Structure 1
Amino acid sequence: MHITSFSADGFRNLKGVQFQPDPHFNLITGDNAQGKTNLLDAIWLMTGCRNFHGAKERHYLGFDAPFFRCEMGFHDGRREQKIIYTLERGQKNQRKITVNGVETNKTGNLFETFHCVAFSPSDVEIVSGSPDKRRSYMDLCACQLHPSDMQYVSRASLLLAQRNASIQSANKGRIRRQDVTIWDEQLAKVGAHIACMRSAYVRNLTPLCEALYGVMTGGAETLGISYRSSVYGSESLPERPTRVLVERYQKMLTEHLSEDLKAGYTMRGIQRDDLLLTIGGNSVQIYGSQGQRKSTAIVLRLAQAYLYNQKHRRSPVVLLDDVMGELDERRQKLIYNMVADMQVFVTLCHPSSLCLEQQGKVFQMEQGVLSEQAENC
């Protein structure tokens, strides 16, 4: 999969950006706060996923811009496709999305059409941050392999919110205590599915990450990865839930209803799961150095790209936002070797910080305007 053309206007500070990227390597240079990251955000927008820097859709509108428009042509390995994404400023911030000329205002439809893997400095939060960061990582990666599973992730959030609202209502005497359990069967089915989905992904992820981390550290350190379910513990789960697993999930909800009512929310379930990361048996989150956390985050993203390529027999587009300049030659080389057959976009303030020469295109970003440089990488 690779982008053949891209344009953006009114997206944050981007002004009339139009370019045809190299199918392999693209370097975007420029000083800080010129729009390099905004360009990668605009590309990421086409995946239909939440912004990898945490921004909301309405924040994409440039200052005083009446609308933004992003248009992308890309080849998915089989055919050429086009996505147009516009958002008009207004009371409801009117969004319009078309895929190959067919209008669809559901961003979820983009998720099944175009995929990226994005590296950014904030990725270290997957390792050092709260468990919800790691749950989001597992869910995104697993759903990239099986896009239809995204419906279960969305459904789980809705069902959990409804059950928690029922708990609050029961505590206020508005409904009976047993009425809370009307959500348990549905939540158990969806929750068991997501637990199996996560377990299967981590099972494929673990040996790959362990090998990559060994290469990155020259064999000096060993990375350990495991999925911990609050319902099923550390047991290995099948790719799809069995009736017994669903029943165990529902039984757990029923048995802990009193505790949930006392707490005011659902205390156990997939919303309490975690991805455990260790080096030498010690938690990277608690005991890891900044360098170890950063290396672990890079390995997790590299594995994400590799597993996607392996599953779909086509590569995702890779976005490297301000991460290469701080890496030594060993780590840069590992990244380039892993993404050698993929289309890559790299943002850097100083091209001299690249340790390895790459064949491709160089672009300069200045005050939201992109220009192609005459020299190649």
Structure 2
Amino acid sequence: MLGDCGGSFIAALDVGTTTVRCQIFNSSADTVGAAQKQIRLHYPHPGWVEMKPDEIFADILQVIRNAVETAKIPYAQIKSLGISTQRATFVTWKKDTGECLHNFITWKDLRAREFLNALNASWRMIFFRFGALLIYWLTRNKKFGMGSKLKIMSSHVSGRFLWVLQNIESVKKALKSDNLMFGTLETWLIYKLTGSCQYVTDISNASATGFYDPFDLNWGTVAKLLRIPVRCLPMVVENDYDFGNVDESFFGVPIKIACVMADQSSSMIGSCCFANNDLKITLGTGAFLNVNTADKIQPSLNGMYPLIAWQLGKDLVYMSEVPCPDAGSLVEWLQNAGFICEASTSSQLAASVEDSDGVFFIPAFSGLGV
């Protein structure tokens, strides 16, 4: 490949719900190459939203190659790769062969909804909430106040993972023989890129699963309550952990994986939300309002969920989040339904209406949420 003979570059990979993107930056933080590809989602049943592992991995490799090609640099000049991924999308695979046991089940998937309705109404959950409420009355500790309102949602990994453990025979068999590995998207991607050498999850993605305890920083109380088998979960690490190198079989040279982070945390950093109370709103497939709460976790009894924004070295930063599952997906729905031909038409139509006469459309395809 012809290109610049000197200098160092960074590759930034973003695996979203709608697209895979890669940008190549030079030492001045200028973009010198970029590529993207739309992700193909699969809907095998109403409410099921999946991605095929082989398809998404092939797309990721191709997008990285295309970005490097547009940058006209050799792979050897890429000093590191940073990865940002959609959260709460997961897969399971066999420990001995690496074979995936099902497709990725995305964060928009609703297959576990009836199962979760029954779980949330179960005596186990009722007793847990009541016990947490008693402790909250005695201590006024908001951790237990949150526990008293605990409701497992479809958007959490926990409910969909429990559904998988109970409904997919190959997963049951692998768990019984201690041959099961679980991972959200970034965990599986690191595992694949490093040639099965690294089995870890970064702390920002772990905190978004719904069963990682952001208070005690472990696979904690909720995992035990739901009887999620901790032995098949990856080690939780900081965002600048030594993730190893991309195996040289993919690009001809090893490339260091320098940072891995969940998409909304990456967006916080990209929006320069470094100080306490800095706030950003990201409009992607969904819409997410996030507030930096610095080194203090701030439990809320009104729907804001505390998460770990990032951990760089020993520096741990928390954030609070209010999610809306549908934003860009609303525009996609309008296109698929034939209301608009191009995405840009939606804003033109909205601007053409002087007064909606009090009529509002709320895109609650996955429920109202907060």
| TM-score range normalised by the length of the shorter chain | under 0.3
Normalised by the length of structure 2, the TM-score is: 0.24
With normalisation by structure 1, the TM-score equals: 0.24
Structure 1 or 2, whichever has the larger Rg, is 1
Q: Which has the higher helix share?
A: 1
* Larger RCO (alpha carbons 8 Å, 6+ apart): 1
